[in-house]
Each structure stands twice: as structure tokens, then as C-alpha cells.
């Protein structure tokens, strides 16, 4: 046997003897048996009964047709221009928005996140509004375009304001329309 094999056998025997030292067999376990018997003869404690099950009562939330308290109140006062447009605000039975129409890019943003930064007059054909989204990108919007997550359609653009009508669910399977506007903001840059 060479010295390397001898060292391996020596290490293995030390390891086995060290691990076997924890395995000690005790012949006299009377005190353990007495303790187990004593614990088993003790009277058991009563188990508390489960609490009474209360049936779930469903709650129907009817506040979906109310104004969102976290958005600013929109004052909608028709001007002479809007009376010419015959803008009609329906509070009960508006038509459901078309699901077959392709969504415009600006319909992926809340109206509160869109900012009007300017407008462009294009002669007799009307105006364009310039809108900045949350990504800092500028978009051109014309009358008839859609924007906002609530199916908002632009009905009027002037140099100071975009007026649109949103179609939202009334919470009871119907649809209502409401006016919204986005006003031109002053630049805060020097």
C-alpha cells in the first residue's frame, strides 16, 4: 500500500468513527416510557369549535355613472360655435362605441395626461391642434379624430381649446356621452 492510499483509508476511518459517535444506543428507556404514559393519561383540552360561517352578501356598486371625484369638474358652457355644431350631450342612451374601428394612438392615454401645446390653422379646411403625450411626443389632431381612453371624439378646435365628446359606460349596460376639453397650456420654459 502506498502512502496516498494509507492516508485515504485513515481519513475515511476517522470520518466514520466520528459520525458513529453520535449513534449511541440506550438500553434503559424506562423514564422515557413513564413520561409518554403520563402525557397520554392527561385529560385532553377541548378543541374550540370553528366560528359560524356567514354567507357572503354581494354588493352592487352603482356609482359608476357618477362623476369621478379625482378629476377636475369640467364646466361645459356652449358657445355660439358649438350651437352651430349642434353638439348633443346624451345622458342615457348613447350609441355604443364602435369596436371595429381601429384605435388611434392617442386613445391609449388618459385625457388628463394629454397636453395641448399649440394649434395650426390650415385655411378654410379647419384647424389642427398639437398635443403632447406622456412620452413627450407631439401629435397633430383634427376634428373627428379620437383621443383618450373613453372614446373621446374631437368636435371643435380653436386656438385655445380642443372640445371633444366622450362616450362612457353608464354601469348598467348602456352608454352616455359627456363633454370634455383640453385647454392650451402656457409654456413654463424661459
Predicted confidence (pLDDT) per residue in 110-152, tens digit: 888 899 998 888 776 678 889 999 999 999 999 999 999 888 9
- The arithmetic mean of pLDDT across residues 34-58, rounded, is 88
Would you say 160 and 139 are in contact if contact means Cβ atoms under 8 Å apart? no
DSSP 144: T
Range with the poorest average pLDDT among 7-11, 62-66, 67-71, 185-189 = 185-189
- Residues 6 or more apart whose CB falls under 8 angstroms from that of 113 comprise 133, 134
**With bands split at pLDDT 50, 70 and 90, how would you rate the model's confidence at 97?**
confident
The torsion angle over the Cα atoms of residues 116, 142, 100 and 175, rounded to 10 degrees, is: 60
CATH number of 77-183: 2.30.30.830
pTM: 0.51
pLDDT at 12 over 60: yes
pLDDT per position as a tens digit, 167-190? 888 777 778 888 888 888 876 554
Amino acid at each position: 500500500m502506498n502512502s496516498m492510499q494509507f492516508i485515504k483509508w485513515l481519513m475515511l476511518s476517522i470520518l466514520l468513527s466520528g459520525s458513529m459517535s453520535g449513534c449511541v444506543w440506550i438500553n434503559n428507556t424506562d423514564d422515557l416510557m413513564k413520561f409518554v404514559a403520563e402525557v397520554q393519561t392527561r385529560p385532553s383540552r377541548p378543541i374550540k369549535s370553528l366560528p359560524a360561517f356567514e354567507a357572503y352578501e354581494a354588493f352592487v356598486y352603482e356609482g359608476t355613472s357618477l362623476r369621478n371625484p379625482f378629476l377636475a369638474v369640467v364646466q361645459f358652457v356652449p358657445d355660439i360655435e358649438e350651437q352651430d355644431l349642434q353638439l348633443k350631450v346624451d345622458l342615457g342612451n348613447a350609441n355604443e362605441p364602435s369596436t371595429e374601428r381601429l384605435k388611434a394612438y392617442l386613445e391609449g392615454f388618459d385625457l388628463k395626461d394629454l397636453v395641448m401645446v399649440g394649434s395650426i390653422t390650415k385655411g378654410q379646411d379647419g384647424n389642427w391642434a398639437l398635443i403632447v403625450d406622456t412620452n413627450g411626443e407631439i401629435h397633430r389632431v383634427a376634428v373627428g379624430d379620437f383621443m383618450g381612453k373613453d372614446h373621446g371624439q374631437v368636435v371643435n378646435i380653436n386656438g385655445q381649446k380642443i372640445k371633444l365628446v366622450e362616450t362612457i359606460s353608464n354601469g348598467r349596460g348602456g352608454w352616455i356621452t359627456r363633454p370634455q376639453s383640453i385647454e392650451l397650456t402656457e409654456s413654463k420654459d424661459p
